[in-house]
Structure 1
Amino acid sequence: MSLSVYEDLIYFEELNRADRDEITVVIYESSDAVRGLDPDTEVEDANMRRKVALHHTQADIKGSRRYRLAAVGLGLLCVLLLTAITVLWIQLNHLTAERDQLQTSYSNLAAERHQLQTSYTNLTAERHQLQTSYTNLTAERDQLQTSYTNLTAERDQLQTSYTNLTAERDQLQAERDGLQRRLSELGWVYFNSSLYYVSNEKKNWTESRDDCRERGSDLVIINSREEQDFINTLRKGQRVWTGLSDGETEGVWKWVDGSELITGFWYPGEPNSYGDEDCGLYGYGSDPVKNWADYPCNNHFFWICEKRI
């Protein structure tokens, strides 16, 4: 814009100079034409030249003023242009900084968007997994609820059965106690699923067994240490016949049910088969455990019968 104004000022200055030259030429030509007609032309010509020179000087002064004014205007325009350029440069710097800041913000937002997208994807997968877990847990809960209902029904049924069995047990216990009382009155004692009877008289081994058979039982068979101890308390210090004998084969001891002796509680040195000793006697010696002996079957002793229930 400043270059165009400057060119216009130069154009106007050249135009004024051309006008002045043309006026001067015209004046000189007019003076030359008049000089040949009027004798006093020299004086007038000199006056005319002074006027022209004065006019030319004044025109130069005016042109110089116009040039200075144009230069001042041009300077002012340059200052304004420089100011405008400076302002535009500052604004450009500000805009560049804002652009960089916006670019950084855009990059950060893009990264955050990507991160949010990743988080959204992860949350979607977790939601799907939780939904699956929820479905599985719901199915398990329903299954457990069904199992709980079934178990509750079974518990109630078992409780009813338990109540019934308890009542039956109490009834059987009462019947057993009554039966034991009646058996006790008849001389029978209950122990470990068997009934035991102790005689109040003495007989030989064969007669003792016959008496047991008449009572629906047989001579006692001792199969354990617990039963050995029980018989020891039952005999009350008396020697008693048992269901043990080697009458069939000497030295082969068998019980009255035909089973062979496995565990015996013989007194030391027994059985010795001294003479005709083929029957088993309980209570020989003072040892409460090892107190069996072989004795002649025709001797008379108390006896114990056993009846398995």
Structure 2
Amino acid sequence: MACNIYEDPDLTMKVSYNKGARRKGWEREEKVVDIYESADMLTGPRLNPSRKGRGARTQKRPPAVQRNSYKAAALILGLLCLLLLAGISVLLILYLPISLKSKQPNLTCQIQTKEKQNQSDTEWQEFRLSHFYYASAEKKNWTESRKNCQRRGGDLVIINSFEKQKFIQRMKIHGDSWIGLQTSDKWNVKWTWVDGSEPRYSAWKQGVNINPEAESRGYIDQQGLWMRNKNGLKHWICEKKNY
């Protein structure tokens, strides 16, 4: 019977042997012994020692293609870092001059404001160490003139003594100037100062009708004499206390 070497081996084998020769009419005794072979010994993979050694060596060292891919990835990452640093440097170079220019006008405006404030302070004239007076070079109506004095920390001038009247006359005024004299209360019209007090002293120009009329305002001429008007553009004189 032909035997196929590629067929799976029979894991069990039966072997017969004679326990002894036939002697003196003894019958031959045969026993059958089953021999089992380990399945692992027969069915396990037959490894080639030479191939196994080569596999161990190749695991220790990655292929050349894999090493090249690692180098390429590291190179690309390095280039990206360089580009990022270059971009940040360019942004800083472009941003710093712009920020400095944007801050420079603010500093200029602050300096100009301080200079104007110092100039306006020098225009104030002192009287008895208690009050300062300012004569404007501009022209406004009575209401706007008073607002300007209030922004400067004072109000339109109140002339309530002969001594202050003489001081105002000696001031360098540029022409007809509003003072803090006005009429109030339509039903009981009378002259009052901007602080609500009534005049205790007056220096009306001769021939001026001093009878109070509604919405009348007082001003002084170039000689410092009082006159009246309801509206118009004039210079003005401010007064503030020396605290």
Structure with higher RCO (Cα < 8 A, 6+ apart): 2
Q: TM-score, normalised by structure 2?
A: 0.46
Between Structure 1 and Structure 2, whose CA radius of gyration is higher?
1
Which one has the bigger strand percentage? 2
